Structure 1
Amino acid sequence: MSKAKSILFGILAGTVAGGAAALLSAPSSGKDLRGQIKDSKTRMLDTINQLKEESIALKEQVAQAAKDSAEVIKEVSGELQTSLKEFQEEIEPHRENLQKEIEAIEEKIKQLEDTLKK
């Protein structure tokens, strides 16, 4: 928001400086000059209002995007947890079989060592 304020302040300062320069170096009559200043003021106010509306719309879009991304993250997180749980359930029987086979191999190695020692 401070950037927007800086931009608005810059526009305002530029308009004032331009107006002052126009007054000092104007080859036009006072009536024409007042009309030009009025037109400049109207354009400046229109620009400021447009910037304000666009910044409000951008703020709303950012808030909606943050809300949507939070929902997506929750959904993906839940799906990952479910997938991980299913994976663990799927591999559990295989893990137990592998553990039993490893224990059997260790027992055979121990028996072989005992046989070799005799």
Structure 2
Amino acid sequence: MSNGKSLMYGLLVGGLLGGLATLLVTPSSGKQVRAQLQNNRNKISHSVHQVRNDSLSLKNQLVESFKDNSKVIKEVSTDFKKSLGHFKEDIEPHKTQLQKEIKEVERKLKQLEQSIQ
């Protein structure tokens, strides 16, 4: 039991002496420390508010960019589909002509095979 009491007295006296030493060694008065803390808190609050505003502005810019980009992508897609349609229309006569020529070549090859046999 006496060891427990000694420990408690030691902790109490040590804590009091540590607190007293801290107060005596502190370079600023309590008012100055509180003023510095308040000033730092205001600076941090202002910084957090600025970061919040900047992030909201960035979010709005991103949303607008995505809207604009989606419009551009839709326009490009529509133009591509039109161009592809025109391309198909332009090559259709050539495609038909090529198919006729291929059939003619095949027919002549068959005739040549038959004449060789």
Q: TM-score, normalised by structure 1?
A: 0.75
Shift in CA distance, 44/26, structure 1 to aligned 2, threshold 3 Å: farther
Cα distance in 1 between the residues matched to 2:37 and 2:56: 28
- Amino acid in structure 2 at the alignment position of 1:113: E
Cα distance in 2 between the residues matched to 1:101 and 1:92: 14
Shift in CA distance, 27/88, structure 1 to aligned 2, threshold 3 Å: same
Q: TM-score, normalised by structure 2?
A: 0.75
In the TM superposition, what whole-angstrom CA distance separates every residue of 1:49-68 from its partner, at most 9, and x where no partner exists?
10110010011111111111
- 1:76 corresponds in structure 2 to 76
Q: Is 1:43 matched up with 2:72?
A: no
In the TM superposition, what whole-angstrom CA distance separates every residue of 1:43-86 from its partner, at most 9, and x where no partner exists?
01100110110010011111111111111111111111011111
Cα distance in 2 between the residues matched to 1:109 and 1:48: 84
| Higher RCO (C-alpha 8 Å, min separation 6) | 1
Cα distance in 1 between the residues matched to 2:92 and 2:40: 76
Shift in CA distance, 81/27, structure 1 to aligned 2, threshold 3 Å: same
Cα distance in 2 between the residues matched to 1:102 and 1:46: 79
Cα distance in 2 between the residues matched to 1:26 and 1:96: 97
Q: Which stretches in structure 2 are left out of the alignment for 5+ residues?
A: 1-21
Cα distance in 2 between the residues matched to 1:111 and 1:26: 113
The residue correspondences of 1:52-63 to structure 2 (distance < 5 A) are: 52-63=52-63
- 1:96 corresponds in structure 2 to 96
Figure out how many residues of one structure are paired with residues of the other and give that number. 95
Q: Percent identity?
A: 42
Larger radius of gyration: 2
**Over the residues paired in the alignment, what is the CA RMSD in angstroms?**
1.7
